[in-house]
Chains A and B, each alone.
Chain A
Amino acid sequence: MNHLTSGKTAAMLNKVPAVTRTFWIIKIMSTTVGETGADFLAVHVGLGTAMTGGIMVVLLIAGLLVQLRMRRYLPWIYWLTVVLVSVVGTQITDALTDRLDISLFVSTGVFALLLATTFAIWYWRERTLSIHTIVTTRRELFYWAAILFTFALGTAAGDLATESLNLGFNLGVMVFSAALVAVMAAYYMGVNAVLTFWLAYILTRPLGASLGDLLSQSRANGGAGLGTIQTSVVFLVVIVSLVALLSLANRGPKLKAEIVNGDK
């Protein structure tokens, strides 16, 4: 990776994690927590969707600023940013659908094009879309823009499947898992890594949502009856534990002070 030797970029290590099984588990679960968390504030706490949306955007900007200032990948701030992007991406799509009455076909199409445009500009400027060399702030901004659009697109495309195909969460879990397995198979058969990574990233959004629904919805409706709050708490505990484990594994000699909640 000779990118690292060129001047300014040498000061910064790759800012984003390697794609492992843990990566995907946290990613899927953070989708659910992001959505139910925002829902909880809007409905149960009674802040309303507009107020909740505003709060989440402010939190996202703050989280992103902290993430951008880091010189290397730190699990807690990276994953906190992902959860916040997940919430905001979902809220953008919901606002378009519920407030502005924009058809899900239109929002799905527009977000796919926006994502494609992001990749096109990213590639044009950087000559690579590799997530293994996110070593400059500009590349990192491309990365987060792409992630925001995948969440918005994942929400729109997932809702579109729900509404136009009457795809309930039971079937949804199966269909989205099958699609994810197909993408995984394609990756192992040599289909290009950039394409399969981002496709999987989009698909895990509706998969996470239907998985959350499967656990939280009442038994009468075919769910496990855990309720949204309990489901979110369970997922949150798993996420925090995994991120804590990653932080411990990732601990460099200078970084001891920055480890959050590292159990001893």
Chain B
Amino acid sequence: MLENTPAITARPGLIDTDVHNAFANVREELRPYLSRAWQAYADYHGILMPGTGYNSSVGVQREDARTPSGAMAGSDPDFMITDHLDRFGIDFAILTGSHVLGISVHTDPDWGNAVATAYNRNLAERWLGRSPRFRGSIVVNHSDPEAAAREIRRCAPDKRFVQVLMASGSSRLFGQRFFHPIFEAASEYNLPVAVHPGTEGAGTAGAPTPAGRPTRYFEWHNIVPLNFMGHINSLVCEGAFEKFPQLRFVAVEGGLAWLPQLMWRMDKNYKALRSEVPWLRKLPSQYIRDHVFVTTQPVEEPEKSSHFLQILEMINAPGNIMYSSDYPHWDFDNPRMTLQFLPKEWKQRIFHDNAAALYGLAARSA
């Protein structure tokens, strides 16, 4: 079952694929990277992002992860190194940002584009230069794919950026041709395209479910995978992986236990409805195995851990699942406690090898 996946390295290693760098004061920190016109806008409005209206009753930030000066959790690179990377022996942290993913669901694409560039410039200077263990995501505004593609091409030559990242909240499904300029640019640089939740139902995004809006944060958070299923279904059916054979799609923080259901339903329907998508050359589930990656947190926790293993077997994509902690957010998965029941070989892949292969990260020397 585990063939055709990266070779196991000599040492365990640990790569965290969802770590949120943040801002103590987002306006002050992004302001130097905005044009004069957008500085004036930010001075008046702040770094304005649409909200979902859903607020966690335990807050989003871990209370214990505030910086020593009491600032926003995740806002101090040095403290993140000691509080998270050193504490758990993390070789690489894929930084996924804070606050700014809402640019893609803001009504004004020009504002979104301006913030994307400011964010990425700040990230490169303040974080990626601080430690080689920090690896960046090029944040793009998916509501303006041509501009997003330009931003990818601007940032990608800096190899400290290892993926493109955008909001999973959207008014359109990501397989649609509207978004193809993003995939084209990412493919040019062999960069995976990741999506992260948080904007479902915010701004111009569609409602979090096709039947409308959940009532509370708890309910909203439960159903985030629905949106991920929609996007992955769209990417496969629209032929995005045929048109862009290099494209890898990373579904961050959307769970994975729903994958068997999606794969089975897609494969069954394909046997009947193939003629609608004549550009597909293999079963839909195979496109998922070949192109879609998922991060673990918030990992499903069935009563019997053996059931989780059964799900992994059903998905049958041992190279596509990557550990993530979501540090410093409330639903953090501790790498020393999470998925410890996995057989050694699975642990090696999920906690290190799969991310190392996807992001081209060399294992730390022993």
A is bound by B? no
